[in-house]
């Protein structure tokens, strides 16, 4: 019996789309190649994607592909960065596909942090962002204003959570990219934004990496033309969203999302206890209100019901028995009392400031509204802080680690034959065969991240030559 463990080698395709960049292409590709060869821990291929250049770009790209190992060149007869990325990513057999601008404006030290969450399976897409606080960016005020305004529009109109849609430094798990690409319509500069919006709206996880970035003064991007194309792209996406066609098969983790088992049991009990506490609070308030002011009656009634509420939730909602920790739990529950007292007192004070002599019914209504907000805060405090250890034990977890059996089970790779939507690769030459939905299987992720990763040399003939396709020519 062999005692050796097969090493699964991950391959990353790095696409460099170019249009009339003969003057900088060789220097940039040599620099990128030297960087990846010198310290990148995964096998890689650099793919130069020529967008119908009219200068000597294609000739330079072919020479680089012949000279350097792990470099390919692909020629397209039509322009469009999105079109180039679509062709190369669709045909890729790598584990991760990425791209970066030929000017290498982004510091290459951010590349490993960009692809690592994808290799491990933690995230589905990854982008560099120039708009994070920790990013170091050197560029003119015009581009700064345009970039920030555009991303502000995306957040305002589409509630986008990613911060920088235009940074030319992105990557994706290949299986995810190839599932999304048929639903991305743009072939030019809006391609990136449409891909990210599609991914985010369908529940995929996007990882962001703050980057160091220096503007290229020789950039060929027409800012005004690109901005207008982006606005047209936004309008097109808005129409698709309104029509309900901006969707793909969501990953199982989104489709099967459920409340944690313990919370499903806790919520009904907490709600019942909360209802009883609220009725008791209102009853005590009415009884005390005749002998004292509104604020004093509310404070006294709330104090008594909060003590009873904490004790009842301790016993019935979170299953804590015995006297151990009872005073600590009451003291910690006092924070929920402070929140409730502050909300209800402020509500009553505001009511009396607006209405000189409000009726008891109006006062009770104000207390119910304030109590509803306070109840939500109380549940979160009790579950996350006061009874956290008890909740973890009740749900099958210890306070410090998962059950060993569960942990061991999570480390086992999924059975390739048991899932129609994915396949598990077991060696360097294996590849994902097909996908009918975008998956991010936790078991496969745990198994892959636990395996050692090694960089291998891809034969020079494989990297520098390929078959031609209908959209262009490979070298």
Angle among Cα 106, 453, 406 to the nearest 5 degrees reads 110
Give the residue from 311, 317, 378 showing the smallest Cα distance to 342. 378
Q: DSSP of 31-55, one letter per residue?
A: HHHHHHHHH-SSEEEEEEEEES-SS
Q: Could you identify the residue written with the tokens 């491990």?
A: 120
First to last CA, the chain: 43
For 62, counting Cβ atoms within 10 Å of its Cβ (0-12 exposed, 13-18 middle, 19+ buried), the class is: middle
Query: Is position 192 annotated as part of the catalytic site?
Result: yes
Q: How far is CA 285 from CA 178, 304, 367, in A?
A: 63, 11, 10
- Are the beta carbons of 193 and 114 closer than 8 angstroms? no
Q: Which of 124, 186, 192, 441 is catalytic?
A: 192
Residue 163, number of CB atoms within 10 A of its CB: 19
For 459, counting Cβ atoms within 10 Å of its Cβ (0-12 exposed, 13-18 middle, 19+ buried), the class is: exposed
Q: Distance between CA atoms of 417 and 401, rounded to whole angstroms?
A: 31
- Catalytic site residues? 192
């Amino acid at each position: 019996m062999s005692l050796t463990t097969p090493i699964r080698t991950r391959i990353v395709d790095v696409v460099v789309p170019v249009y009339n960049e003969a003057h900088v292409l060789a220097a940039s590709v040599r620099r990128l190649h030297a960087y990846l060869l010198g310290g990148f821990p995964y096998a890689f291929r650099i793919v130069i994607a020529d967008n119908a250049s009219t200068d000597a770009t294609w000739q330079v790209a072919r020479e680089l592909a012949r000279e350097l190992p792990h470099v390919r060149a692909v020629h397209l007869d039509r322009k469009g960065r999105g079109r180039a990325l679509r062709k190369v990513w669709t045909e890729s057999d790598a584990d991760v596909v990425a791209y970066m601008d030929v000017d290498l404006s982004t510091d290459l030290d951010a590349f490993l942090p960009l692809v690592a969450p994808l290799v491990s399976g933690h995230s589905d897409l990854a982008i560099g962002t120039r708009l994070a606080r920790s990013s170091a960016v050197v560029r003119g005020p015009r581009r700064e204003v345009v970039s920030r305004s555009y991303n502000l529009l995306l957040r305002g109109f589409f509630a986008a959570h990613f911060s920088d849609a235009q940074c030319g430094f992105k990557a994706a798990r290949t299986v995810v990219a190839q599932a999304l690409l048929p639903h991305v319509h743009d072939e030019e500069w809006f391609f990136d934004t449409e891909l990210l919006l599609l991914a985010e709206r369908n529940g995929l996880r996007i990882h962001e990496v703050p980057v160091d970035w220096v503007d290229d003064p020789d950039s060929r991007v027409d800012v005004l033309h690109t901005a207008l194309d982006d606005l047209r792209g936004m309008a097109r996406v808005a129409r698709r969203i309104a029509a309900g066609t901006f969707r793909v098969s969501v990953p199982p983790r989104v489709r099967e999302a459920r409340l944690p088992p313990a919370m499903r049991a806790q919520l009904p009990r907490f709600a019942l206890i909360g209802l009883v506490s609220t009725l008791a609070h209102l009853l005590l308030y009415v009884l005390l209100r005749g002998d004292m002011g509104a604020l004093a009656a509310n404070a006294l009634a709330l104090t008594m019901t909060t003590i009873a509420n904490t004790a009842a939730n301790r016993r019935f909602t979170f299953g804590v028995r015995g006297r151990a920790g009872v005073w600590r739990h009451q003291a910690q529950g006092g924070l929920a009392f402070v929140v409730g007292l502050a909300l209800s007192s402020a509500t009553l004070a505001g009511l009396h400031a607006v209405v000189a002599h409000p009726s008891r019914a109006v006062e009770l209504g104000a207390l119910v509204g304030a109590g509803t907000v306070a109840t939500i805060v109380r549940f979160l405090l009790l579950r996350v802080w006061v009874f956290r250890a008890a909740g973890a034990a009740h749900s099958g977890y210890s306070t410090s680690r998962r059950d060993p059996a569960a942990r061991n089970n999570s480390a086992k790779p999924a059975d390739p034959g048991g899932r129609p939507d994915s396949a598990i690769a077991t060696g360097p030459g294996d590849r994902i065969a097909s996908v009918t939905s975008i998956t991010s299987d936790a078991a496969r992720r745990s198994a892959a991240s636990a395996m050692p990763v090694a960089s291998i040399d891809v034969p020079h003939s494989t990297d520098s030559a390929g078959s031609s396709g209908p959209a262009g020519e490979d070298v």
